[in-house]
Amino acid sequence: MKSYNKSQELYSKGLTHMVGSVNSPVRAFKSVGGNPLFIKNAKGSKIYDVDGNEYIDLVLSYGPMILGHGNDKVIEAVTKQVYQGFSFGASTENEIILSELICSVFNGMDKIRFVNSGTEATMSAIRLARAFTGKNKIIKFSGCYHGHGDSLLVAAGSGMVTYSLPGSAGVPENAVKDTLIAEYNNIESVKTHLSKHDDIAAVFIEPVAGNMGVVIPSDTFIKELRKITHEAGVLLVVDEVMTGFRSKFGGAQDILGIQADITCLGKVIGGGFPVGAYGARSEIMNLVSPLGNMYQAGTLSGNPVAMAAGIATLTELCEQNPYQKFNTQAEQLEKIMLDSARENNIEITVNRFGSMINPFFSKKTVTNFSDAQECDTSQFTSFFWSLLENGIYIPPSQFEAWFLSTTISDDDMNILENGIRKAMKSIRK
């Protein structure tokens, strides 16, 4: 048995001045009935807790660390920038370089604005969609998470579903009265809203959902969604905070054959530093201040260190082009999970897209939020703890995607296979 004593000690100590001893609720182990690990360091595919336990990291900071931890090129770029200065409150050439890198691979994205988090990106995208259309309402899909902004914090995934919260305390009714909820993969649910309301500014969607576990849109659903929003003069805001640069060098929207009106980014484009962004065609972006009258600002936006990390990460990703390898490894993991589940009489279904994957403890195919919620979360809990014991760190929730990094080696794949097989056996019925 691994010892988690030091994590336990720090957790208790942290409770005094930190809410639940975490700075983001998804990090708490509440839903799997335990206390969170405290991490000391990480390198490549591995992460180490304060007790010295080693794990293959499939959390990857919930997405950003696609190159694994401590990539040499990123360290070099960040270090160089640190010596040149941390923050200036003025433009730098690196902001131009990162904007070029990103705009060149998203069709229809002429301009981009950098912010500090995915939440800021989606909050700004709402304001921009409203400014552009002169309309108020937005449609979002149940189970999709778009950060913790008031008006998007309804029927949201990630921590909201992990802790079964219908909405958040402190969000005024007025803030959500213009938010309409549709069902993922159900185009009729969108059409109904569109036919009933003429005041809709935008539809927000995760192009591949990752915050209720991985849920893939059907080809007809996503294409139809693009078509009907276009016809209705409603902007399609594609939230690629998680999916951006994960499944190809660019966005999931490209793989799915759609083009967003506004794209939100975050996570990977900051390589582990706080970055978010929203981008669109000039006609839309020119409404943003200082060119237009939609106000949005940030003291640390486009932070030089974060930009350096982002450029180095994307440059390295482009060179390594790991996307075929991601597919192969995810396919192997899927097979290992399905085989070992079957051998132990456990019913699971596995969803994956590029380097995003996770099993659902359910025999049903999972295509929307209510399917996801039918999972046997107690089985997930046992599976989680057994994986941890076997040196595999996954998110402490049934409703989060696992991620692959470019540093996963054949040896790591063997560790993953052994750990998964043992974990499935340990929860055998």
Contact residues toward ligand PLP (CB under 6 A) are 117-119, 122, 145-147, 206, 210-211, 239, 241-242, 266, 276
Nearer to ligand PLP, 63 or 322 (CB): 63
Instruction: Indicate if the alpha-carbon torsion angle 203, 209, 210, 213 is positive or negative.
Output: positive
Closest CA relative to residue 318, chosen from 243, 405, 245: 245
Query: Which residue, 57 or 206, has its beta carbon nearer to ligand PLP?
Result: 206
Say which amino acid occupies 138.
I
Place of tokens 């085989």: 339
Task: Find where tokens 């800021």 sit.
Answer: 120
Q: Which is nearer to ligand PLP, 150 or 417 (CB)?
A: 150
Other CB atoms within 10 A of residue 193 CB: 18
Which lies closer to ligand PLP via its Cβ, residue 222 or residue 348?
A: 222
Closest approach of ligand PLP to the CB of residue 356, in Å: 10
Pairing of the two strands 276-280 and 111-115: antiparallel
Q: Is 57 among the residues known to form the active site?
A: no
Helix (H, G, I), strand (E, B) or coil at 185: coil
Minimum CB–partner distance for residue 102 and ligand PLP (Å): 16
CB of residue 293 to ligand PLP, shortest distance in Å:
25
Helix (H, G, I), strand (E, B) or coil at 137: strand
Within 10 A of 392 (CB to CB), how many other CB atoms are there?
A: 22
Of 117 and 390, nearer to ligand PLP (C-beta) is: 117
Give 283: exposed, middle or buried? Use CB within 10 Å, 0-12, 13-18, 19+. Answer: exposed
CB-nearer residue toward ligand PLP: 147 or 322: 147
Q: Please, what is the end-to-end C-alpha distance for the chain in angstroms?
A: 22
The CB density around residue 393, as the number of other CB atoms within 10 Å, is: 24
Q: In this structure, what are the phi and psi dihedrals at residue 231, rounded to the nearest 5 degrees?
A: -65, -30
- For the chain, the residue count is 429
Cβ of residue 311: shortest distance to ligand PLP, in angstroms?
19
Which among 145, 184, 278, 393 is annotated as catalytic?
145
DSSP letter for 147, please: -
Tokens of 407: 């540093």
CB of 145 to ligand PLP, least distance (A): 5
Q: Where are the alpha helices (DSSP H) in 85-201?
A: 93-103, 118-133, 159-162, 173-176, 187-196
267 noted as active-site residue: yes
Least Å distance between CB 371 and ligand PLP? Answer: 19
118 vs 251 by CB, closer to ligand PLP: 118
Catalytic residue among 4, 57, 184, 239: 239
The 3-state DSSP class for residue 180 equals strand
Smaller CB separation from ligand PLP, 253 or 390: 253
62, 267, 323, 371: the active-site residue: 267
For the bound state, the minimum distance from the C-beta of residue 327 to ligand PLP, rounded and expressed in Å, comes to: 21
Task: Give the orientation angle of helix 93-103 with respect to helix 304-320, to 10 degrees.
Answer: 40
- Tell me the C-alpha distance between 316 and 71, whole Å: 9
Pairing relationship of beta strands 356-360 and 349-353 according to DSSP bridges: antiparallel
With a CB cutoff of 8 Å and minimum separation 6, the contacts of 308 are 77, 78, 80, 81, 94
DSSP H or E segment with residue 308: helix 304-320
Q: How far is the CB of 331 from ligand PLP (least distance, A)?
A: 23
Q: Return the residue nearest ligand PLP (CB atom).
A: 118
Taking alpha carbons only, the member of 423, 250, 413, 294 closest to residue 346 is 423
Give the pair of three-digit tokens for residue 225: 């969604």
Shortest approach of ligand PLP to residue 357 CB, angstroms? 15
Active-site residues, by number, are 145, 239, 267
